Structure 1
Amino acid sequence: MGIRDRLSRLLAEAAADAEAIEHHGEWWTWGQVQETARDVVEALDAAAPHTGARVGVVLENRPEHIAVVAAVIASGRCLVMLSPLQPATRLAADIARCELPVVVSGAEALAREGVLDAVTAHGAALELATDGRLRPAGGTAPAEAPANPGVAVEMLTSGTTGPPKRVHLRIGQLDQALVSGGQIPKDGRLLSRSASLVSAPLVHIGGLWRALACLATGRRMLLMPRFAVEPWVSAVERHGLRAASLVPAAIRAVLDAGVPKERLASLQVVTSGTAPCPAELADAFFRTYGIPVLMTYGATEFAGAVAGWTLPLHQRWWQGKAGSAGRAFDGVELRVTGEDGTELPVGRTGRLEVRTEQSTGGGRVWTRTNDLARIDADRFVWIEGRADDAIVRGGFKVQPETVQRVLESHPAVREAAVAGLPDPRLGEVPVAAVEAEPEQPAPDTAELVAHCRARLTPYEVPAHIVVLDALPRTPSGKVSRVELLDLVRARIAPQERVKEDQR
């Protein structure tokens, strides 16, 4: 049974008094989910009745938003993800580009400057209350609007080689991704008393996949607004979870917090994806808690992970293969090719290519990724870098050009450059250097940080900014990112020494 049929059954047959989603310590029952879903479908039948009709959702980590996701996918429509993490201007621009016949959103996001106008310029706005009630908020859905039949989700991704783009995920991709990840319901059972934790943003593939995995298997969902150490540990402890997921930055946060071992005693494994997890970090977690960290590798384009570690693989191979991304999952083929597309021998580094039903092209097409990798004789894949300049900060991708443009919009900045600085907790953080306009007073770093915070998502804001008379350049006139990083390290070193002395 695929995820669409599974959602349809849950919305029609799940016991109304059964616990569905825990949020802030309170439970939403399946009856509440079903009621909200019915209201959503009724509104969509009036506003966007066609199969494949595109429905925008400003998706927050809240129970009523899970109900909307289930309703849209189960009804055969196309869920268009809209991120509430964006500043108002970018959210409004994203909505305007999509030209959606209907957008469902919470009241706070709709109240942001320009957002409601962007929705009503092309369609109807539906305001979703925290109790699941839905009400018209303005605008009219057009009689005819472009549909996207066959596509279940249009997910916004920051991309790795250029401007943000939307990845179109077919329903078959979602089905295969859940099967590859072992999320298969037991025969004859609609609901389960077991529970799973969802702490990643639903607008990212990691969060969406985990939410769909809960629904596919009928498990109770423990939905966190965002990751924080104490609520995460409390959920593990209260529900006796045997498995949970943490991005590398969250693994570091748990270790740094000194969480007592007995509070995580129920856990048998922790899975980690979104960003590469250093072997030494996984080892530190294992030494501290006796819990193996099982890394996974995937991408939005694959609707989740396509390779990773399992517990049997960890028990047999970890000592010799620590640092690997694991092996291809069932139904997935991996190969490494040179720049001319020729497959490379075992152990050689090149572009990683994937062939799976999870890809947008289907199971017969090799999809070329932007990752540099090698595959060893035991079929373990080793990710060795990226073929582009994207910065991965704690699992979130940051395009240097996006940050650069914002910095250069400041009147006192002539030119800016952005690079990724290695960070033990987050993997990488964006840092920047700016060249000041010679005729203007030089801006201070606090002013530039405030300028960025008003125009970027929190994870895009540079961790450090240095102001220079001239940017470092190569002989060809391009900005030298190597020298830029050296300059940033030199500027922050005294600050780090002061912090160390104060500890």
Structure 2
Amino acid sequence: MTSRSRFRLLLENAPGDARAIEFEGRWTTWGELRQVASTIQQSLRTLGLNGAARIGVVLEDRPEHVAALLAIIAGDQCVVTVSPLQPAERMRGDIAGSGVSALLASPSMLEVVGTLPAAPHLLELTLDGASVARQPVGRQRGAGDAVGAPGITVEMLTSGTTGPPKRISIADQQFDAALTTSVPAPPDGALFRSGTTLVTTPLVHIGGFWGSLGPLYAGRSIVLLGKFDLDRWVDAVVRHRPRAVAMVPATLRAVLSGDVPREKLASIEVATAGTAPVPVALTEEMLDRYGVRVLPTYGATEFAGGVTAWTLGQHREWWERKKGSVGRALPGVELRVVDDHGDEIPHGEHGILEIRGRQSPSGIHAWQPTSDLASLDEDGFLWIHGRTDDAIVRGGFKVHPNDVRAVLERHPAVREASVAPLPDARLGQVPVAAVEWEPGAGPRPTAEELFVLCRQHLTPYEVPARIVVLDELPRTSSMKVSRTELLDIVRSDAIGASEHARA
């Protein structure tokens, strides 16, 4: 069964009163999702937008927006995601350049969209359905202008941690492979499985997108929490008692620093963790304090989500020998590590990770290079050591940000560190860093303390040119550190220091 046919089956046959999505204390039923999806498709048919039409969605964390995704996928069209988190001017430029034939958005977002040249048809999205909204001034894109995307399920934005987000096409076979591998549908044609999944990442991010659609595909209900809030998350855990949760390093730290009582998390056995490197010390502390096994994963938007993971059984058997690994390849995925010439290298050596399988944009037969430095061991476990495009070239010397980050995080009062390349007229680039203070672990560290630590453990060219100490690191919607914002903070700090010196 394909993902499109599975979602059609659910929309057509799920009991109207069956619970689907909890949001802000209210359950949205499958009957309500069906009504929204039906209205969307009626509106699109009226506009002549059938088949492979590309339909944009300004994707907010609301039940009707999940219904829009289900409707478009089940209707054999292509979802084009638009982030509601970007500034208004950037959003308008993104929509204008997207080439979508219609755009679904909430009433408030339609106000933000405003007037666009050569605008798509605008549909106002609410829990009552989707109706054609007041059209902005300018030529309307008609059915004859539709730019189709046959064989593409979704065009999705990357998280944009290192620069402007890019829109990635995920083909039908990639989408199907990702869903059927990680969250198989119930057996024997059943509609539902028991259990509820907590979704704490925005829908517009790959984690929230799969975190919502995956459980629904498998017949489970979901709780949309949007941006992570510790109190709301704990409340949802206590009420729904999930066995497994999805988390990122920042949310793991929030649970630990929030000193959540152990009994409130008693139902949780495992926490899958992706989107950013998970320090081993963090996983060990979660196991010691809460008995929760953190299962690191690895994936990318280009590969329709995860490609490696740990299982609970593997973690129990192998963790002490394989700490720091992001697990083994998922079924249907092959991994290898190659040198700069594309030749496979021995187990344990660092090189460029390549992936082959149904989730690859290159298809099942071609090896797809990634931008990740990695190593594989003889048991098939994968380690990620940084990114090939992350290397900061400082006057001809390569600096790997992960090496610098690891040293900064040795300081007991540093919760997390991040390193980014700052353009430099003389050297090309220099590494700069920001750290997040851990108040409960000691006095706020000074930049000079951290410089001393770096000089003790790094070569001179690896030592950051500037270090800024923050209460909180800047983050994207997916809770990754935003290195573009980090660079803005470092530049601002440098200007402030210069003005203070002149004064």
Task: Give TM-score scaled by structure 1 length.
Answer: 0.79
Partner of 2:158: 157
Query: Is structure 2 residue 74 aligned with structure 1 residue 74?
Result: yes
Residue 2 of structure 1: CA displacement?
A: 1.7
Provide, for residues 181-236 of structure 1, a one-character-per-residue CA deviation record: whole Å limited to 9, x for no partner.
14332223112341111111111111111111112111111111221111111111
User: Does the CA-based 8 Å contact 2:82-2:204 persist in structure 1?
Assistant: yes
Question: 1:148-297 residue pairs with structure 2 within 5 A?
Answer: 148-158=149-159, 164-297=165-298
C-alpha contact (below 8 Å) 1:307/1:327 kept by paired residues:
yes
3-state SS of 2:79 partner: strand
Q: Contact 1:180–1:306 (CA<8 Å) still a contact in 2?
A: no
CA separation of 1:399/1:276 partners in 2, compared to 1, >3 Å: closer, same or farther?
closer
Letter in 2 for 1:465: V
CA contact (8 A) 2:40 2:130 kept: no
Q: Does 2:115 correspond to 1:117?
A: yes
Quickly say closer, same or farther: Cα 1:51–1:302, change in 2 above 3 A: same
Q: Secondary structure of the equivalent of 1:176?
A: helix
Percent identity between matched residues is 43
Q: Distance in 2 between matches of 1:108 and 1:136?
A: 12
The CA deviation at 1:367 is 0.9
- CA distance in 1 between partners of 2:208 and 2:46 (Å): 30
Structure 2 residue aligned with 1:129: 126
Aligned counterparts, 1:386-405, within 5 A: 386-389=387-390
Report the Cα offset of residue 334 of structure 1: 0.5
**Displacement of 1:468:** 7.8
Structure 1 unaligned regions, length at least 5? 405-414, 426-430, 432-444, 446-451, 472-486, 492-503
Question: Paired residue for 1:359?
Answer: 360
Alpha-carbon distance change, 64 to 110 in structure 1, aligned in 2, over 3 angstroms? same
Shift of 1:159: 6.1
Q: Do the aligned residues in 2 keep the contact of 1:48 with 1:101 (CA within 8 Å)? A: no
Q: 1: CA distance between counterparts of 2:228 and 2:162?
A: 28
From the superposition, tell whether residues 75 and 470 of structure 1 become closer, same or farther in structure 2 (CA, over 3 Å): closer
1:135 shift after superposition: 4.0
Which is worse superposed, 255-264 or 135-144? 135-144
- Superposed CA deviations along residues 67-91 of structure 1, whole A, max 9, x for unmatched, are 0000000000000000001011111
Aligned to 1:58: 58
Equivalent in the alignment of 2:335: 334
> Aligned partners of 2:227, 2:163: CA distance in 1, in Å?
27
CA distance in 2, matches of 1:227, 1:344: 41
CA contact (8 A) 2:32 2:127 kept: no
Q: Distance in 2 between matches of 1:134 and 1:146?
A: 21
Equivalent residue, structure 1, for 2:386: 385
In structure 1, distance between residues paired with 2:305 and 2:338:
22
Q: Does 1:138 align with 2:135?
A: yes
Asked if structure 2 preserves the Cα contact closer than 8 Å seen for 1:353 and 1:368, the reply is yes
Corresponding residue for residue 461 of structure 1:
485
Q: Does the CA contact (< 8 Å) of 2:419 and 2:434 recur in 1?
A: no
- Deviation digits for residues 262-302 of structure 1 (CA, Å, limit 9, x no counterpart): 00111111111111111110111111100100110000011
Deviations 1:27-57 (A, max 9, x none): 0011110000000001111224231100000
Cα 1:400–1:466 shift into 2, 3 Å: closer
Contact 2:193/2:219 (CA < 8 Å) preserved in 1?
A: yes
Distance change (3 Å), C-alpha of 1:227 and 1:134: farther
CA distance, structure 2, for counterparts of residue 166 and residue 56 of structure 1:
12
Whole-angstrom distance in 2 between the partners of 1:211 and 1:373:
29
Q: CA deviation at 1:418?
A: 7.8
Cα distance between partner residues in 2 of 1:116 and 1:241: 42
Q: For the residues of structure 2 that align with 1:143 and 1:117, how far apart are their CA atoms?
A: 20
Q: What is the rounded CA distance, in whole Å, between the counterparts of 1:375 and 1:423 in structure 2?
A: 31
| Secondary structure of the corresponding residue to residue 115 of structure 2 | helix
- Within a 5 Å distance, the mapping from 1:437-452 to structure 2 comes to none
TM-score (norm 2): 0.79
Number of residue-to-residue matches in the alignment: 430
Determine helix, strand or coil for the equivalent of 2:114: helix
SS at match of 1:372: strand
Change (3 A) 1:469 1:424: closer
